């Protein structure tokens, strides 16, 4: 299927990763602005079940192209880039989207150089320019102090990476008809090989948490954290923090939310003493219900909050703890 919007799906042990369906959400939103087919490419060892590939179709993809080879079991730049370039050169997509995962952040810059085209990394917003039909790629710039919108006017494909968890996964639209194409792949570039694979032992899980209590510089000192953790435990929530909290050593890096940390989409985000810097907002603004507690009425966090409590957190948090213990909370049920 020539042209259109293509996503780079990812799979592990025969199962598609969530980022694949998050990218479908982005692609379908672009399709709503400029009607184009939506296709998915996947690089994997043989054996990805047909049912997994059909999930992409049922969630909105018009076609799925799978390049299969034992060499694609684990990511290495040579074979993956060769597979990617083969599809792009044959099918000439207008737009290619990938997750800003370790795979996407390695694969797309290399491919962009080989194709002589542009790439915008870590986009937070994507759109179509009405006058030209060009992809509008928006991302933080100048240390996160401004939002820059970038266009790739002359070369193709237009390519962008998108932060995982920055959008909701595409829902199932129903049983849909779509083209599923499996292609065998052989590679010339085998200068590197995987000797072993060791899964990450990191288990903090803030990206998977449905509820988060997040602290910022406003908590003033690490001795405040036991009170925060008590509130989080009552809510069944995990604890996260801003970059400044992590830089000060109050929380470890796996707890950091924002451009230089994790992107999260919990059902409930409760920010305690979080000012709302652009870098942090980019990592949490797609949360479900956002509640903020801050003594500064002009704090940026209030601009994205569903509920805001202007007050001293050292008074508000104990009051919340008492209220939950005495009367419960809709989020504890």
- Ranges of each domain in the chain: 5-184, 211-327
Phi first, then psi: what are they for 176, rounded to 5°?
Answer: -115, 155
The answer to whether the CB of 187 falls within 8 A of the CB of 82 is: yes
Angstrom distance (rounded) from CA 108 to CA 96: 9
Picking from 221, 200, 31, 208, the residue whose alpha carbon sits closest to that of residue 127 is 31
Per-residue pLDDT tens listing for the chain (333 residues): 899 999 999 998 899 999 999 999 999 999 999 999 999 999 999 999 999 999 999 999 999 999 999 989 888 888 999 999 999 999 999 999 999 988 999 999 999 999 999 999 989 899 999 999 999 999 877 766 678 999 999 999 999 999 888 888 999 999 999 999 999 988 765 677 777 777 655 445 788 889 999 999 999 999 999 999 999 999 999 999 999 999 999 999 889 998 878 888 899 999 999 999 988 998 898 899 999 999 999 999 999 999 999 999 999 999 999 999 887 665 555
> Would 5-184 and 211-327 be classified into the same CATH topology?
yes
∠233-234-239 over CA atoms, to 5°?
Answer: 35
Angstrom distance (rounded) from CA 310 to CA 81: 51
Judge: domain 5-184, CATH 3.40.50.620.
yes
Picking from 144, 104, 94, 102, the residue whose alpha carbon sits closest to that of residue 124 is 144
Judge: domain 211-327, CATH 3.40.50.1220.
yes
């Amino acid at each position: 299927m020539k042209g259109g919007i293509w996503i780079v799906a990812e799979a592990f042990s025969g199962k598609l990763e969530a980022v694949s369906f998050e990218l479908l959400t982005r692609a379908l939103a672009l399709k709503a602005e400029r009607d184009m087919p939506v296709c998915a490419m996947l690089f994997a060892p043989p054996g990805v079940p047909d049912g997994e590939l059909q999930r992409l179709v049922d969630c909105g993809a018009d076609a799925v192209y799978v390049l299969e080879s034992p060499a694609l079991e684990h990511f290495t730049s040579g074979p993956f880039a060769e597979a990617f370039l083969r599809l792009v050169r044959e099918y000439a997509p207008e737009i290619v989207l990938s997750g800003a995962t370790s795979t996407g952040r390695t694969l797309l810059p290399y491919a962009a150089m080989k194709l002589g085209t542009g790439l915008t990394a870590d986009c937070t917003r994507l759109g179509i320019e009405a006058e030209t039909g060009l992809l509008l790629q928006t991302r933080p710039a100048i240390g996160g102090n401004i939002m820059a919108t970038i266009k790739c006017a002359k070369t193709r494909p237009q390519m962008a990476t998108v932060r995982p968890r920055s959008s909701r996964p595409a829902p199932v639209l129903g049983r849909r008809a779509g083209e599923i194409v499996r292609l065998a792949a052989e590679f010339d570039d085998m200068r590197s090989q995987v000797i072993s694979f060791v899964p990450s032992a990191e288990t903090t899980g803030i990206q998977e948490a449905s509820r988060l209590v997040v602290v910022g510089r406003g908590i003033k000192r690490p001795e405040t954290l036991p009170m925060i953790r008590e509130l989080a435990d009552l809510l069944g929530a995990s604890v996260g923090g801003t970059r400044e909290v992590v830089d000060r050593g109050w929380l470890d890096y796996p707890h950091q939310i924002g451009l230089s940390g994790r992107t999260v989409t919990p059902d409930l985000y409760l920010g305690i003493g979080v000012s709302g810097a652009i870098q942090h907002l980019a990592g949490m603004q797609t949360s479900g219900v956002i509640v903020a507690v801050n003594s500064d009425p002009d704090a940026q966090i209030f601009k994205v909050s569903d509920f805001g409590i202007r007050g001293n957190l050292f008074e508000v948090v104990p009051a919340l703890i008492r209220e939950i213990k005495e009367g419960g909370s809709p989020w504890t049920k």
